Amino acid sequence: MKQQKADRRSQRTYRLVSSAFAELLGEKPYEEILVQDILDRADIGRTTFYAHYFDKEDVLSSMIAEQLKLFTHQISHAPARQRVIPSLELFEHIYDSPNQQFRALMRSRAGEPLWEALQTVLSQAIEPILSTFFAEKRSPSIPLPVVSQYLTGAFLTLLKWWVAADMPYPPEQMESIFQQLALPGVWTMLKEK
């Protein structure tokens, strides 16, 4: 993305373009979206667009970066509990978010880079938490990076399904489902001596 400007007009342009792009992702495949479609939907001129972005890939990259930043913030500010993953907070974040960009990206094939980045961020956040559970033990029966990848994959697969299905269950129920499906094996491993 080009050097992001901080003035109000530029911020307004970023919001208009992101919103327009998210709406378009909900209507048609990424490959079919043209810069002209974004311009028309955002009601901005070509010069304004190119003063802020290089192309539609740049718009996608900036949206992914912004959503990843929000997701990372949610993970880092989740209340400390006896949990390995702040799944309830993450389900709630997506459910309560008025921002449709994350959902649009999650439903689109264009969002694959977002899923990959989320996999990395979440697994990196989980591994230190797992380490604290093993602080007094010698070593776990399964390497912690493997457990971290497993939990991250299970959570993101469930999250992806939930969003694609238009969130048919409330976040609290999704949290319970995730806890029941993914964590019994982890807790068994943690109890092993």
* pLDDT exceeds 60 at position 60: yes
Which comes out higher in pLDDT, residue 170 or 86? 170
pLDDT band at 193 (very low <50, low <70, confident <90, very high): low
Residue 192: predicted pLDDT: 66
Residue 82: predicted pLDDT: 58
pLDDT band at 164 (very low <50, low <70, confident <90, very high): confident
Convert the pLDDT of each residue in 129-162 to its tens digit. 888 877 666 677 788 899 999 999 999 999 999 9
Residue 20: predicted pLDDT: 95
Residue 92 CB: number of other CB atoms within 10 A? 18
* pLDDT exceeds 60 at position 53: yes
Distance CA 140, CA 84 (A): 15
17 and 52 Cβ atoms separated by less than 8 Å = yes
Residue 80: predicted pLDDT: 60
Convert the pLDDT of each residue in 98-137 to its tens digit. 667 777 888 788 888 888 998 998 999 888 888 887 766 6
* pLDDT exceeds 80 at position 17: yes
Which comes out higher in pLDDT, residue 43 or 4? 43
Residue 180: predicted pLDDT: 93
Domain limits of the chain?
56-190
- Looking at the chain, the whole-number percentage of residues with pLDDT higher than 90 is 45
Q: Residues 146-164, buried b or exposed e (16+ Cβ, 10 A)?
A: ebbbbbbebbbebbeebbe
Distance CA 77, CA 63 (A): 21
Q: Residues 94-103, buried b or exposed e (16+ Cβ, 10 A)?
A: bbeeebebbb
* pLDDT exceeds 90 at position 94: no
Residue 38 CB: number of other CB atoms within 10 A? 21
Distance CA 18, CA 24 (A): 10
